[in-house]
Amino acid sequence: MNISANGYLSGSNLERVLRAGHFAATGELGPPQSADGSTIREKAQLLKGACDAANITDNQTAIVRMSSVSAGAIALQEGLEPVIQVTCRDRNRLAIQSDILGAYAQGIRNILALSGDHQTFGNHPMAKNVHDIDSIQLVQMIAEMRDKKIFQCGDPFKGQEPCMFVGAAAAPFAHPIDFRPYRLGKKVNAGANFIQTQLIYDIEAFKKYMEKVRALGLHEKTYILAGVGPLKSPAMARYMRESVPGMLIPDEIMNRMTAAGAPWSGKGELTKEDKKARSGAWRETGIKICVELIQQLREIEGVSGVHIMAIEWEEAVRPIAEGAGLLPRPVVEPAAA
């Protein structure tokens, strides 16, 4: 891929914003565990205008939810640009390619290629997984469908090829940590146009990672969006720090979350109102920390934007974007044909 060439790869809003040199912001929308499309419409309204595009998760944490393509199509109707997440866990290369054709036909223009959380974490741990291809091969497959106009098997398209802006994920602090920049390099070589990272709370550690990424020149070949997310409570922060692989949360942030609830500590049994007020204080601090993280990430060379993950808290995205000075989102007109 040559991102300095004229013309867009997919022409998606996300691509246009990034190509125009704006600091991008993406959000996240989790489809419901039901056939109810209205929740997507409601969440889409919360995210619309607060970010350039929103990831639509694909059976995240291996829990069955409405398909990302279908939910993405609904988001599109609501005026929210989707980034369809596609995992290798549930579908083989045939199914993924047919989904991509369908997604493109529906107007979807961004895809994030993922391995997928292992099914043992979800609500169907007894299921058989697929993993016909891995996430890097998936990136390559989507890029070649667009650039070489071929199916994975090598057969050429007989009609319109799906032109997708292809993304991949990066976990900068997962192990083996020394390999992580190189794994990112493989994803970029496979054709990843943009990268969304795992949640970043440890700016110093991320700076070191980015140094290596820059040394490999990867920031010039892809757009790196750093993952951020508001903490809801000290318990959530502790859980993430202790149980989520590759999640570094510095003591300072842990302490700030704890301090936010200090006025209610030692008060004995809390009333419902007390608990609500404490939760509000925690969330306010979580958003404040998130805003500060974005401001710091923005200063790091090679960071092209942020991916704001407010898990089941889509309302938080707008105040975060607002607080970080990211609003209003830029409007980049599609290039004249």
Q: Does 175 bind other proteins (CB under 8 A)?
A: yes
| Near other proteins in 92-131, by CB under 8 A | 93, 115-118, 120-121, 129, 131
HSE value, Cβ hemisphere, 13 Å, CA-based, for 307: 26
Q: Which ranges of 133-230 does DSSP label H, i.e. alpha helix?
A: 135-147, 180-190, 203-215
Q: How far is the CB of 186 from other proteins (least distance, A)?
A: 6
The one among 1, 3, 150, 174 contacting other proteins by CB under 8 A: 174
Contact map string, positions 133 to 152, toward other proteins, x by CB under 8 A: xxxxx--xx----------x
Q: Are 29 and 55 in contact (CB under 8 A)?
A: yes
Residue with tokens 């398209």: 157
Q: Is 176 in the site for other proteins (CB under 8 A)?
A: yes
From the list 8-16, 71-79, 176-184, 288-296, the region that binds other proteins by CB under 8 A is 176-184
**If binding is defined by CB under 8 A, does position 169 make contact with other proteins?**
yes
Return the exposure string of 273-305: e unless at least 16 CB atoms fall within 10 Å of the residue's CB, then b: eeeeebeebbbebbbbbbbbbbebbbebebbbb
287 alpha-carbon distance from chain centroid: 18
Distance CA(292)–CA(320), nearest Å, equals: 9
| Residue 241 found at the interface with other proteins (CB under 8 A) | no
Angle at 225 between CA 297 and CA 7, to 5 degrees: 130
Between 118 and 267, name the residue whose CB sits nearer to other proteins: 118
Residues 177-236 within binding reach of other proteins (CB under 8 A):
179, 182-183, 185-186, 189-190, 198
Question: What is the rounded CA–CA span in Å between residue 187 and residue 256?
Answer: 36
Binding other proteins (rule: CB under 8 A), the pick from 69, 100, 113, 171 is: 171
Q: Which of 162, 55, 29 is nearest to 112 (CA)?
A: 55
Which of the residues 49 through 88 are near other proteins (CB under 8 A)?
Answer: 88
What is the 8-class DSSP label of residue 48? Answer: B
Nearest Cα to Cα of residue 209 among 235, 190, 182: 182
For other proteins, give the closer residue by CB, 70 or 85.
85
Nearer residue to other proteins within complex by CB, 51 or 190 = 190
**Gap between the terminal Cα atoms of the chain:** 20
Q: By the 8 A CB rule, do 90 and 129 touch?
A: yes
Give the nearest distance from C-beta 306 to other proteins in angstroms: 18
Which CB atom, from 129 or from 279, has the smaller least distance to other proteins? 129
* # residues contacting other proteins (CB under 8 A): 35
CB of 123 to other proteins, least distance (A): 15
Structure tokens at 67: 């398909």
Q: Which is nearer to other proteins, 146 or 180 (CB)?
A: 180
Q: Residue 185 Cβ, how far from other proteins at the closest point, in Å?
A: 7
User: Is 239 a binder of other proteins (CB under 8 A)?
Assistant: no
Residue 134 burial by CB count (10 A; 0-12/13-18/19+): exposed, middle or buried? Answer: middle
Stretch that binds other proteins, among 105-113, 168-176, 304-312, 320-328 (CB under 8 A): 168-176
Which residues of the chain form contacts with other proteins (CB under 8 A)?
88-89, 93, 115-118, 120-121, 129, 131-137, 140-141, 152, 169, 171, 174-176, 179, 182-183, 185-186, 189-190, 198, 245-246
